[in-house]
Amino acid sequence: MLNFDWLAGVSADTAKYIFYILFLLIAILVLLIPNSYIFLGLPQDQRHWWKNLKLWSILVLMCLAMVYYIF
């Protein structure tokens, strides 16, 4: 059990889909965070769309998914 023998039947291709699902799950969780929490610390007049950290996170996750798609 400690060697994860019970997952030996899962192929590397299927494992890749598990990784994609993880990325998607993280992206959904990030999108669910309220904007008020994302911008906490910034004054109201500086809360521009490009400072929305959800966008930054989604961009990073898309790059990550692309790397796993290519390799």
| Of residues 49 and 56, the one with the C-beta less far from other proteins | 56
Decide: is 16 part of the binding site for other proteins (CB under 8 A).
yes
Q: How far is CA 1 from the centre of its chain?
A: 29
Residue type, 59: L
Q: Which of 28, 34, 36, 40 binds other proteins (CB under 8 A)?
A: 40
Q: Whole-number minimum distance, CB 68 to other proteins, in Å?
A: 6
What DSSP string describes 41-60?
TS-GGG--GGG-HHHHHHHH
Q: Which of 24, 31, 35, 60 binds other proteins (CB under 8 A)?
A: 60
